[in-house]
Amino acid sequence: MSGAHVLLVEDDAVARSAVAQNLAAHGYAVAEADDAAAALRSWDAARPDIIVLDLGLPDLDGQTVIRRVRREAATPILVLSARGREADKIEALEAGADDYVTKPYGIGEVRARIAALLRRAGGPAGEPMGVLRNGSIALDPARRVVTVGGAEVALTPREYELLKQMLGAPGRVLTRGRLLRAVWGTAYSDEGHYLHVYVSRLRRKLAAADPAGDARDLVEAEPGVGYRVREAAGE
């Protein structure tokens, strides 16, 4: 990922400079912006490979930057969000941000998230009907068949849709709202308890099909937000 162009948007000059210097020392080309207007000017002038975006900016909300970028490109966006601002984080993910780090963050964590997003952005895209794999799990959308360790697993239609969403988002956070809309077709509402029940059931079925394997660890809960899917293993 050396040489990747990072647009770093953060109004706290001390934090921004620390992150910028660290990224530069690891071979990234860093452009800095201290508010949303500067971020959008930089975005227009030179499309970066990834955007690292503080949500609390002095002029426009960081969400405005996300929506504007998403209208024009699929450039990965990593959000920096303040602790306790769960609603902002969820709004950002639903507006199209790809991942987040909660402040105060470690620079190593920021770098790892950037590297993961760039790896995925550079990976094969535009194959929505291909077989989705993660570890021992494989889902064939053409045949609607799920196998774990090569053995077919019977899933209900909703469990199947849930798993499909998860396998399609390796290394990413899926918000409860996104999963509810995708699987139940409902608006973002307080039906989150269904999700917990279905995720638990799906986990049990996957684990039962592969007791010694990694199927149970496909997702971990991200408290207050949703679920993080592990990076696709075994490919």
* Residue 56 CB, nearest approach to Ca ion (Å): 4
- Binding to Ca ion by residue 38, rule CB under 5 A? no
Shorter beta-carbon distance to Ca ion: residue 77 or 162: 77
* Residue 48 CB, nearest approach to Ca ion (Å): 19
- Binding to Ca ion by residue 88, rule CB under 5 A? no
Question: Of residues 15, 37, 56, 184, which one binds Ca ion by CB under 5 A?
Answer: 56
* Site stretch for Ca ion (CB under 5 A), options 50-58, 114-122, 167-175, 211-219: 50-58
- The radius of gyration computed from the CA coordinates of the chain, to the nearest angstrom, equals 19
Of 113, 105, 77, nearest to 15 by C-alpha is 105
Question: Of residues 54, 88, 98, 210, which one binds Ca ion by CB under 5 A?
Answer: 54
- Binding to Ca ion by residue 61, rule CB under 5 A? no
Shorter beta-carbon distance to Ca ion: residue 88 or 210: 88
AA identity, residue 148:
V
- Binding to Ca ion by residue 222, rule CB under 5 A? no
Binding site for Ca ion (CB under 5 A): 11, 54, 56
